[in-house]
Amino acid sequence: MLSKIKTCVLYGLEGYEVDVETDLSGGLPNFSIVGLPDISIRESKERVRSALKNSGFGFPVSRITVNLAPANLKKEGSQIDLPIAVGILAANKIIEKNIDEKTCIIGELSLDGNITVVDGALPMVISMRNNNFEKVVVPDENKEECGAIEGIDIIPMGSIRELVHYFNGYLDIEPYKVNYNYSDYNETFQEDFSEIKGQPAMKRAVEIAAAGMHNILLLGSPGSGKTMIARRIPTILPDLTFEESLEVTKIYSISGLLNKNGLIKKRPFRSPHHTSSRVSMAGGGSKPSPGEVSLSHYGVLFLDEIPEFPKNVIEVLRQPMEDGNISISRANGSFTFPAKFMMVASMNPCPCGYLGDPTHECTCNRGQIDKYLGKISGPLLNRIDIQIEVSPVKYDDLNNDKTEESSLDIKKRIVKARSIQQKRYLGLGILTNSELSGKYISKFCKINKESQELLKDAFERLGLSARAYNKILKVSRTIADLEGIENIETKHILEAIQYRNLDRKYWR
């Protein structure tokens, strides 16, 4: 009386096939699970026992041995509840028909026999499809997120009873399909760019940053609208494509942050507080889960008051900003999560916040200011393409009812600029200008002789730092793309230089 059921465990974002072998034999009644199960799986004994009993199938009085193969792989996650229960039912011949090798079962059990939601269903389903499975049984509540996957049948299941009927052939459940029609999908936001009065330079910088996915640093006194504009950046970013959406949903799925709406269509906007720890930023834990950098994949990671963050928290951003992913190594393995985000950071010019403010006096001394600015390390500054200084809004500007441009108008321009970039970088594994590096910069950011002379002149006269050079080229590329111009012109470079002002004024 042996049965074999296929299920899946997750390592990072990757799902691995696991066999649940169940053997019923004579002897003293006993229930043991072997094959490196973790605590959540050991506890599933109790859930399985009660769920079977309460579903009316009874728990076999015999010696039950469950083996999770391969035996050398550590297994984690409550999704193994259901396959164990099914294994017992199959071994006990309550499920009479053979469950074939191409069917994978995942799901957690509640004591009443219902199948409840699991974390990470989407990445598991995708991995199983890639492992040539034909059918996967998922909890009913996970069907929305999984329904969009092509090439594998999604069988949503509400309870053990339903499942037994299904496998015995008394109940027919249609594979669940969701059709996401991305063309008529329109995300609605509560915020809008038109609410920001004045501040054209800040808006312009943010628009360029969004168009090229450039990291941006906003520096200014309190009340200049830094946070306000940062929160509105998702409203001008292009909608997620299906592939992007799938990738983002995977990350949210394993983090257990999905609601029932299925795939995530809104670009993520994460705003971790400055008391966040290193692990919460990078991801980790004994069972590594994605951190803020991965949760903001394809979206915006907003760090408000960046100097207030502990230095070691900020420094973990360096690798993901460079590589677009983060590798976390722990005793039980190394995991890689994607982390391609647009960093938006804001800060005050000094600890009191009023350096250079027209209406308040700054009370900091030079040493305090240097210490404050020193919290932003050179390597981090190096990875920020656009830096701008913003000044507080005047009362008159707040009060006037001049209509400002709406997010939708700005978004149109950005979408256009992005599609130019995508066309240009087709097949290079690059989506946006911000990802250009070394040889690609010299290939795609060519400037004519006149501009070269000018840039050289600017370096000497304006005292730009060497790190600014590539940034200026990349940002000029984006400005030209926004205008739909193929070659970078002098005026684009001149404008890009303006976005390196802080280097000159604050960090020399």
Partner 1 sequence: MENLNFSQKTIAWLNSANGISNRKIDALFNYFGGNPKDLWDNFKKEKNNLKLKQEIINYLIKTKDDFEESFIQKLKKESVKIVTLLDDDYPKKLKEIDGPPYILYYKGSLSNIDNISIAVVGSRKATSYGKWAAEKFTDELSELGVNIISGLASGIDTIAHKTALKSNVKTIGVIGCGIDIIYPKSNERLYREIVENEGAVITEHPFGMQPLPNNFHARNRIISGLSYGVVVIEAQERSGTLITAGHAANQGREIFAVPGNIDSLYSKGTNALIKDGAKITTSINDIIEEILELKERIKQKQNLIDYSTLSDDEMKIINCLKLESKTIYELNEETKIATGNLLSLLTMLEMKGALKQLTGNKFIINI
Q: Which residues bind partner 1 (CB under 8 A)?
A: 198-201, 203-204, 220-221, 349, 355-358, 388-391, 397, 454, 457-458, 461-462, 479, 490-495, 497-498, 501, 505
Torsion angles phi and psi, residue 246, rounded to 5: -60, -45
Q: Which is nearer to partner 1, 431 or 458 (CB)?
A: 458
**In angstroms, rounded to a whole number, what is the distance separating the alpha carbons of residues 39 and 108?**
14
Q: Which long-range contacts (CB under 8 A, 24 or more apart) does 50-54 make?
A: 50/111, 51/81, 51/85, 51/109, 51/110, 51/111, 51/112, 51/113, 51/114, 51/160, 52/85, 52/88, 52/89, 52/113, 52/160, 54/111, 54/112, 54/113
- Could you tell me the smallest distance in angstroms from the CB atom of residue 431 to partner 1? 23
- Could you tell me the smallest distance in angstroms from the CB atom of residue 394 to partner 1? 8
- Could you tell me the smallest distance in angstroms from the CB atom of residue 376 to partner 1? 16
**In angstroms, rounded to a whole number, what is the distance separating the alpha carbons of residues 152 and 143?**
13
Q: Strand 269-270 to strand 300-303: parallel, antiparallel, or no bridges (unpaired)?
A: parallel
Give 481's contacts (C-beta < 8 A, 6+ positions apart): 211, 212, 417, 420, 421, 433
Q: Which is nearer to partner 1, 173 or 494 (CB)?
A: 494
- Could you tell me the smallest distance in angstroms from the CB atom of residue 347 to partner 1? 14
**In angstroms, rounded to a whole number, what is the distance separating the alpha carbons of residues 117 and 141?**
6
**In angstroms, rounded to a whole number, what is the distance separating the alpha carbons of residues 157 and 121?**
13
Q: Which is nearer to partner 1, 310 or 356 (CB)?
A: 356
Q: Which is nearer to partner 1, 189 or 459 (CB)?
A: 459
- Could you tell me the smallest distance in angstroms from the CB atom of residue 472 to partner 1? 10
- Could you tell me the smallest distance in angstroms from the CB atom of residue 458 to partner 1? 6
**Residues 295/252, Cβ–Cβ less than 8 Å:** yes
- Could you tell me the smallest distance in angstroms from the CB atom of residue 505 to partner 1? 6
Other C-beta atoms lying within 10 Å of the C-beta of residue 423: 8
Beta strands in 57-132 (DSSP E): 63-69, 103-105, 108-109, 115-116
Q: Which is nearer to partner 1, 82 or 497 (CB)?
A: 497
Q: Which is nearer to partner 1, 198 or 238 (CB)?
A: 198
Sequential DSSP letters for 341-393? -EEEEEE-SSSSS-TT-SSS-----HHHHHHHHHTS-HHHHHT--EEEEE-PP
**Residue 238 corresponds to which amino acid?**
P
- Could you tell me the smallest distance in angstroms from the CB atom of residue 495 to partner 1? 4
What does the chain come to in residues?
508
**Residues 498/468, Cβ–Cβ less than 8 Å:** no
- Could you tell me the smallest distance in angstroms from the CB atom of residue 194 to partner 1? 16
Q: Which is nearer to partner 1, 394 or 443 (CB)?
A: 394
Of 226, 216, 200, 115, give the one whose Cα is nearest residue 166. Answer: 115
- Could you tell me the smallest distance in angstroms from the CB atom of residue 382 to partner 1? 21
**In angstroms, rounded to a whole number, what is the distance separating the alpha carbons of residues 433 and 418?**
9
Q: Which is nearer to partner 1, 228 or 431 (CB)?
A: 228
- Could you tell me the smallest distance in angstroms from the CB atom of residue 483 to partner 1? 8
**Residue 349 corresponds to which amino acid?**
P
Find out whether the peptide bond into 70 is cis, omega within 30 degrees of 0: yes
Q: Which helix (H) or strand (E) holds 189?
A: none
**In angstroms, rounded to a whole number, what is the distance separating the alpha carbons of residues 241 and 236?**
15
Q: Which is nearer to partner 1, 295 or 388 (CB)?
A: 388
Q: Which is nearer to partner 1, 234 or 349 (CB)?
A: 349
Structure tokens at 440: 């690609």
Other C-beta atoms lying within 10 Å of the C-beta of residue 134: 14
**In angstroms, rounded to a whole number, what is the distance separating the alpha carbons of residues 433 and 210?**
11
- Could you tell me the smallest distance in angstroms from the CB atom of residue 228 to partner 1? 15
Place of tokens 């009873």: 161
- Could you tell me the smallest distance in angstroms from the CB atom of residue 359 to partner 1? 10
Q: Which is nearer to partner 1, 279 or 454 (CB)?
A: 454
